[in-house]
Amino acid sequence: MKLGNDLIRRGVNYFHHRFTPRVLVLLYHRVIDLSFDPQLLSVTPQHFDEHLEILHQFTQPMRLKDLASAIQTDKLPRRGVVITFDDGYIDNLQEAKPMLERYAIPATVFVTAGQLGSQDEFWWDELDRLLLQPGKLPETLYLRIHDGSHRWELNGATEYTEDDYMRYRGWHIDQSNDPTPRHKLYRSLYQLLHSMQQIERRRTIEKLQNWAGKDRWRRLSHRTLNADEVVLLAQGGLVEIGAHTMTHPMLATLPISLQREEISQSKACLEDLLDQPVDSFAYPHGSYTDETITLIREAGFKYACSSDTDAVWRGEDPFKMPRVVVRDWDGDEFARWLKGWLGI
Ligand SMILES: [Zn+2]
């Protein structure tokens, strides 16, 4: 009897998984061949080309706005896939856009509006530049920040040679071990900065720059789009520009008034540049509350993406469409992963 029930349940699950329509929203950040990528944000151009080839062969690529309408009319297409990019790096224009055009596959790029044309790298990139590139650092770091004093010792890892850099360039934040005190420091500063608000984070980065003896200097490989480049990215209509706040905060940790500013200013800034409505939004770090969603609606956005990991199923809330993060997989691995999600 038990076996029979199990079989029925497994059969129902199988049919549910295989035949219930769902759309997969892919979350990319960068298309670039970086020699070191501690946040796993990039996919190489070669791999991105392989991903597009597979999407072209096996799926129905669609626009985010069409997915939002399909949710509302409860008519999700089979094998639907939407491509999105977060943050607004320059390679989205230089590398990704020409490839998307070759396959005629649409995408939405969520741009951090306050970062347009900035001379600074994003704070997570700046941490890598200061701590995990070859060079010398002082032995001890003291920081006094809101929750008290912090002190770290580099324990002899003050010097980081080209050989060290090459040895550890496969390291990333998702690994459980930190091979040197520098990696440990990177991880604890990453966690501290992550929970800070913009002003304090800026101040802390400046202290770190002084401590490391490095100028405020942006690497070309880590630069973000400027205003003209966002316009170019939108040209041709294949790429939709969406908003991703002004300063990329964890919205859920901000008071309502600051959330409102981040949300509405980013919309106004991008609409001013593009001279057209900006309808879509993505929550930085996937951070939002019910109040955030109310603010997004009030600001006039029509739909929004979260970073919750799932496919979009029937009845989904168009203001928190889940997404799945794509890593730097080759075509075969990407195809296996994709088919698992789509049940094909
Ligand atoms: Zn982001």
Residue 14: pLDDT over 80:
no
Separation of alpha carbons 37 and 124, rounded Å? 11
* Separation of CA 325 and ligand 1 centre (Å): 12
Q: What is the mean pLDDT of the chain?
A: 94
Residue 169: pLDDT over 80:
yes
Average pLDDT of the residues in 120-148: 93
The pLDDT value given to residue 306: 97
**Which of the pair, 344 or 128, is modelled with greater confidence?**
128
What proportion of the chain, given as a percentage, has pLDDT over 90?
A: 87
Reduce the secondary structure of the chain to three states and give it as a string. CHHHHHHHHHHHHHHHHHHCCEEEEEEECEECCCCCCCCCCEECHHHHHHHHHHHHHHCEECCHHHHHHHHHHCCCCCCEEEEEEEECECHHHHHHHHHHHHHCCCEEEEECHHHCCCCCCCHHHHHHHHHCCCEECCCEEEEEECCEEEEEECCCCCEECHHHHHHCCCCCCCCCCCCCHHHHHHHHHHHHHHCCCHHHHHHHHHHHHHHHCCCCCCCHHHCECCHHHHHHHHCCCCEEEEECCCCCCCHHHCCHHHHHHHHHHHHHHHHHHHCCCCCEEECHHHCCCHHHHHHHHHHCCCEEEEEEECCEECCCCCCCEEEEECCCCCHHHHHHHHHHHHCC
Residue 195: pLDDT over 90:
no
Separation of alpha carbons 236 and 226, rounded Å? 18
Strands 321-325 and 303-309: parallel
The pLDDT value given to residue 7: 64
Strands 312-313 and 22-28: antiparallel
pLDDT class of 3 with cuts at 50, 70, 90: low
* Separation of CA 12 and ligand 1 centre (Å): 37
Cβ(62)–Cβ(82) below 8 Å:
yes
Average pLDDT of the residues in 308-335: 97
pLDDT class of 20 with cuts at 50, 70, 90: confident
pLDDT class of 230 with cuts at 50, 70, 90: very high
Residue 148: pLDDT over 90:
no
* Separation of CA 69 and ligand 1 centre (Å): 24
* Separation of CA 245 and ligand 1 centre (Å): 9
pLDDT class of 9 with cuts at 50, 70, 90: low
Residue 333: pLDDT over 80:
yes
**Which of the pair, 266 or 344, is modelled with greater confidence?**
266
**Which of the pair, 17 or 214, is modelled with greater confidence?**
214
Cβ(193)–Cβ(285) below 8 Å:
no
Q: What is the pLDDT of residues 263-299, one digit of tens each?
A: 999 999 999 999 999 999 999 999 999 999 999 999 9
pLDDT class of 249 with cuts at 50, 70, 90: very high
The pLDDT value given to residue 12: 58
Query: In Å, what is the CA distance from 59 to each residue of 47, 188, 314?
Result: 17, 41, 18
Separation of alpha carbons 27 and 33, rounded Å? 18
Query: In Å, what is the CA distance from 69 to each residue of 77, 129, 303, 308, 314?
Result: 11, 42, 9, 20, 12
* Separation of CA 3 and ligand 1 centre (Å): 47
The pLDDT value given to residue 319: 97
* Separation of CA 285 and ligand 1 centre (Å): 6
* Separation of CA 107 and ligand 1 centre (Å): 16
* Separation of CA 13 and ligand 1 centre (Å): 34
Separation of alpha carbons 89 and 34, rounded Å? 13
Average pLDDT of the residues in 43-51: 98
Average pLDDT of the residues in 71-84: 93
